[in-house]
């Protein structure tokens, strides 16, 4: 169903793209983003632990086979891309890939299903349903993608200093690409921009693709009963986007951390 009630098309779109927020200013918390991302993270950990505890050395079941395929896929990519020695990288890459994939996967849930249910619950509790918001795709929230990117950025800085030392890290920022003291200001500007562009591109790429996909689903939903001929092919195509964006985020994380481990 599309708009329903007194909502115009513009109001309908804005309502679906508005987060359930608590607080004001800098300390505004997007409750729906936090709840869904944490819930999907718990689902990921619980599912993998369930399979790990019940794993057999004989003929694996379908679920165990599927999980093993994911683990081997991530492990192969880490081995071919990461050239340092760090036992954390493979589990980190697996966590990023599966968690981001699950958050992206929520984009395939019909756009009206859970928000309308939340409105009905809110109305039953005495709230105005037009002021009850529920965004179920955490990666359509820029705060979430920036938080993920900042986590990767923090690890990049940490391992750069740990492997190269403070002096090596500062030298990397000031003596590349022109290895001459006269070019230190130019080198510092170029390297700082390059360094900051990594988390920025990680956050904006994931957010932009998922936000655009969600917006198209909402626009298709405005067609009401005529949405099915467009909804199905877009959903099939969006499956590729969902997997690809999780894979790109994982691979760039591995590449950035591999660069942080390089000691020239």
Q: Which residues are catalytic?
A: 201, 205, 209
Per-residue burial over 230-254, b = 16 or more CB atoms within 10 Å of its CB, e = otherwise: ebeeebeebeebbeebbbebbbbbb
Q: Which of 196, 208, 96, 99 minimizes the C-alpha distance to 153?
A: 196
Q: What are residue 21's DSSP bridge partners?
A: 30
Q: Would you give the end-to-end CA distance of the chain in angstroms?
A: 59
The one-character DSSP state at 78 is H
Output Rg (C-alpha) for the chain, integer angstroms.
22
C-beta separation of 210 from 243 below 8 A: no
Q: Where are the beta strands (DSSP E) in 37-158?
A: none
| Cα–Cα dist 77/90, whole Å | 9
Q: CB atoms < 10 A from the CB of 184, how many?
A: 13
- Which run of H or of E encompasses 171? helix 142-174
- Which run of H or of E encompasses 52? helix 31-53
């Amino acid at each position: 169903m599309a708009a329903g009630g007194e909502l115009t098309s513009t109001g309908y779109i804005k309502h679906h793209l508005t987060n359930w927020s608590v607080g004001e200013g800098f300390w505004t918390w997007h409750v729906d983003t936090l709840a869904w991302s944490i819930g999907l993270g718990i689902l990921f950990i619980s599912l993998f632990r369930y399979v790990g505890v019940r794993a057999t050395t004989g003929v694996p079941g379908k679920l165990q086979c599927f999980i093993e395929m994911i683990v081997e896929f991530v492990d192969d990519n880490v081995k071919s891309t990461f050239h340092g020695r760090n036992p954390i990288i493979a589990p980190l890459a697996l966590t990023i890939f599966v968690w981001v994939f699950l958050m992206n996967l929520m984009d395939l849930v019909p756009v009206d299903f859970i928000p309308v249910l939340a409105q009905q619950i809110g109305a039953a509790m005495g709230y105005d349903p037009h002021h009850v918001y529920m965004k179920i795709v955490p990666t359509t929230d820029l705060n979430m993608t920036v938080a993920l990117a900042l986590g990767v950025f923090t690890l990049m800085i940490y391992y750069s200093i740990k492997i190269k030392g403070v002096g090596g890290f500062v030298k990397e920022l000031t003596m590349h690409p022109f290895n001459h003291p006269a070019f230190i200001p130019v080198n510092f500007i170029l390297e700082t921009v390059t360094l900051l562009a990594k988390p920025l591109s990680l956050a904006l790429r994931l957010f932009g693709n998922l936000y655009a996909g969600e917006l198209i689903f909402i626009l298709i939903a405005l067609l009401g009963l005529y949405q099915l001929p467009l909804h199905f092919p877009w959903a099939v195509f969006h499956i590729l986007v969902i997997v690809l964006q999780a894979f790109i985020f994982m691979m760039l994380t591995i590449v950035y951390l591999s660069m942080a481990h390089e000691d020239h």
